[in-house]
Structure 1
Amino acid sequence: MSRRKTPDQHDHAPLSSAIGEFWSTHQVMARSGSNRDRLGELIEAHELLHVTTADDQRLFPAFQFDGKTVNPRLLPLLRAMLPSQDGWSVTLQLMQPMPELGGKTPLDVVERGSDSDRKKLLKILSA
């Protein structure tokens, strides 16, 4: 049976529906085997994407992880984008289809694109 929403239903978590799962600090530490200090180092080095909620919770988009670590193909983008943008902006931009990429999202290119596609993407997002 389809779980399609009817017009009277409301998505109570539209960002989670669009972006996917977010992990807490404790979940990231448990999955990666890292401690808080190591997570802080990765954040400071712009190698770990996080967002801060209205109630000051730090959450990590699960899409960035490849097993226990951040997808290495995503790291150049994070290093280029995070110094000048907040985590929410980067998260949303990675999920937004781009005409320059033939309608693909940056995350699609990171996950399934060629090396030349990823270089093109880095150039676009670094501009």
Structure 2
Amino acid sequence: MTAKRAWAEIIGPCYSETSLVRRFGWTLHGLREAVAALEVLELVTEDDVRLYPAFQFDDGRPVPHLADVLTVLHSGVESPWTWAQWLNTPLVTDVGGELPRNIDRLRAGALGELLLEARNDAYAWGN
């Protein structure tokens, strides 16, 4: 499996800048402001294509409290690809079972737990 394919499997479907603006009625300026404020996760490919993982949106809006989580993750490492992996990778239990992805836990309202885990991971990444 190539590295690009592995990332595609981790991240899942993405919107381009144009498709996100068109589909959800955002303005380009509004999207760029949301990215700068860490309200929307933007991934930039090695050939400078801007992508927006679909997993972070519900009905065209970012999942509530995503900015809180991204802000904490940003404190440890400035790598949106790492943040995307942290949010969207299924977790596996010690006995091989699968736990919900962090983005799904955020949707379910586990903000306190996620912020604690994000702080711990951000600290580890930063050291």
Match of 2:44 in 1: 52
Match of 1:39 in 2: 31
Match of 2:74 in 1: 82
Match of 1:123 in 2: 116
Change (3 A) 1:74 1:98: farther
Match of 1:92 in 2: 85
> Is 2:22 the partner of 1:26?
no
* Larger RCO (CA under 8 A, 6+ residues apart): 2
Question: Partner letter of residue 17 of structure 1?
Answer: E
TM-score by length of 2: 0.75
Distance 1:109 1:55 in 2: 32
Distance 2:6 2:52 in 1: 17
Distance 2:73 2:55 in 1: 16
Distance 1:52 1:61 in 2: 11
Map 1:101-120 to 2 at 5 A.
103-112=99-108, 115=109, 117-120=110-113
Distance 2:104 2:60 in 1: 20
Give 1 or 2 for the bigger CA radius of gyration: 1
TM-score by length of 1: 0.75
What number of residue pairs does the alignment pair up? Answer: 113
Quote the RMSD (CA, aligned, Å): 2.3
Query: 1:17 offset after TM fit, Å?
Result: 2.5
Identity of aligned residues (%): 26
Query: 1:98 offset after TM fit, Å?
Result: 6.7
Distance 2:59 2:46 in 1: 28
5+ long unaligned stretches in structure 1: 1-9
Matched residue SS, 1:48: coil
Match of 1:17 in 2: 9
Query: 1:106 offset after TM fit, Å?
Result: 1.1
Distance 2:54 2:119 in 1: 23
